[in-house]
């Protein structure tokens, strides 16, 4: 009987958790919009090489613009080359002397990731910044898959970036001090990642109250954070530091594949807690350039602060197990 009661209360508890996290995000995002980040203490980036995935739109394009404005050579890693060319032209209109390069990268295809990495490694022996920004969020009921057979969110948001980062590690070490910044999300705090079922093949149908229908995205964002934790541990003493962060809710194309109802929810959240693109980029730049976090490798950040709720959820054992599983899946 007690177990039945516990099971019946579980959806309510999940709903309460989501409300608490939403209210916390509302307070933090409002404070960030008003006050921003008080002290960046940026390292100079002029003359350095930076890669930004998914830089043809949204946060990625804004980050690419901001880095180019600071004098970095920015490689726009984009799946859609036409959109990438348009982004380049728009940045060049504002920053005529911007140093930009456009290279195709489709994170849904491991072959594309390998081709991109091989080209970059041969052309840029030293890499100073890798911004793993690209991502998608699709709330369709059926499980979607990448060309390699991975669940779509796990394949694109985590495994594609996992492979890319590992293939570029030698160049990042050669460019040290260098940094890897991976964009995650506060939704990782309500994930349900199972290492023995990363592709959610045995997962039961979702329910409205638990919000399980959103779990593929949330799980991929937890994977981003666990990957960063283990990457930070492995790179200790190399001069390469790594960070993951939630940039806040931003009106970007990450929701482009969502259904009508989910789009309404997303737009409502954006209206209440939404962060302007320039401010969202500032959160990324903090982890990429600020001296204030240079000794906090492997941590999860939000709005220029260590996000303690998220970091408490990141267990070393889980991070190590996910790393080994990911190595097998991408063939490293």
Catalytically annotated residues: 217
Q: Residue 74 in contact with residue 95, Cβ under 8 Å?
A: no
Q: 102: how many CB neighbours lie within 10 A of its CB?
A: 17
Q: Which of 32, 36, 56, 166 is nearest to 106 (CA)?
A: 56
Q: Residue 220 in contact with residue 247, Cβ under 8 Å?
A: no
- Residue 241's beta-bridge partner residues? 179
Distance CA 39, CA 279 (A): 14
Q: Which run of H or E residues covers position 51?
A: strand 49-53
Dihedral sign of CA atoms 186, 187, 193, 197 in order:
negative
Structure tokens at 117: 């990495």
Angle formed by the axes of helices 2-35 and 260-273, nearest 10°: 50
> CA separation (Å) from 91 to 44, 57, 81, 88, 309?
20, 11, 15, 5, 36
Classify residue 134 by its DSSP letter: -
């Amino acid at each position: 009987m007690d177990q039945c009661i516990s099971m019946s209360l579980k959806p309510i508890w999940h709903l309460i958790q989501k409300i608490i996290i939403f209210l916390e995000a509302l307070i933090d995002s409002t404070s960030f919009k008003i006050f921003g980040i008080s002290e960046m203490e940026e390292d100079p980036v002029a003359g350095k090489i930076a890669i930004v995935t998914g830089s043809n739109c949204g946060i990625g394009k804004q980050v690419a613009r901001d880095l180019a404005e600071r004098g970095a050579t920015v490689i726009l890693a984009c799946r859609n080359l036409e959109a990438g060319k348009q982004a380049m032209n728009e940045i060049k209109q504002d920053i005529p002397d911007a140093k930009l390069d456009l290279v195709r990268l489709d994170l849904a295809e491991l072959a594309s990731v390998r081709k991109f990495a091989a080209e970059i490694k041969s052309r840029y022996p030293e890499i100073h910044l890798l911004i793993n920004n690209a991502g998608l969020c699709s709330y369709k009921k059926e499980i979607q898959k990448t060309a390699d057979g991975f669940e779509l969110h796990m394949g694109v948001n985590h495994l594609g970036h996992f492979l890319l980062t590992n293939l570029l590690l030698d160049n990042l070490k050669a460019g040290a001090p260098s940094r890897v910044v991976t964009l995650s999300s506060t939704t990782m705090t309500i994930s349900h990642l199972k290492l023995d079922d990363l592709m959610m093949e045995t997962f039961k149908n979702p329910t409205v109250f638990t919000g399980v229908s959103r779990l593929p995205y949330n799980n991929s964002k937890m994977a981003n954070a666990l990957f960063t934790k283990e990457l930070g541990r492995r790179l200790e003493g190399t001069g390469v530091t790594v960070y993951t962060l939630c940039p806040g809710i931003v009106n970007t194309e990450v929701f482009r594949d969502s259904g009508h109802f989910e789009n309404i929810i997303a737009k409502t959240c954006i209206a209440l807690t939404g962060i302007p693109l320039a401010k969202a980029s500032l959160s990324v730049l903090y982890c990429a350039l600020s001296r204030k976090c240079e000794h906090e490798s492997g941590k999860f950040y939000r709005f220029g602060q260590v996000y303690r709720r998220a970091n408490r959820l990141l267990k070393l054992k889980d991070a190590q197990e996910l790393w080994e599983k990911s190595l097998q899946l991408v063939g490293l």
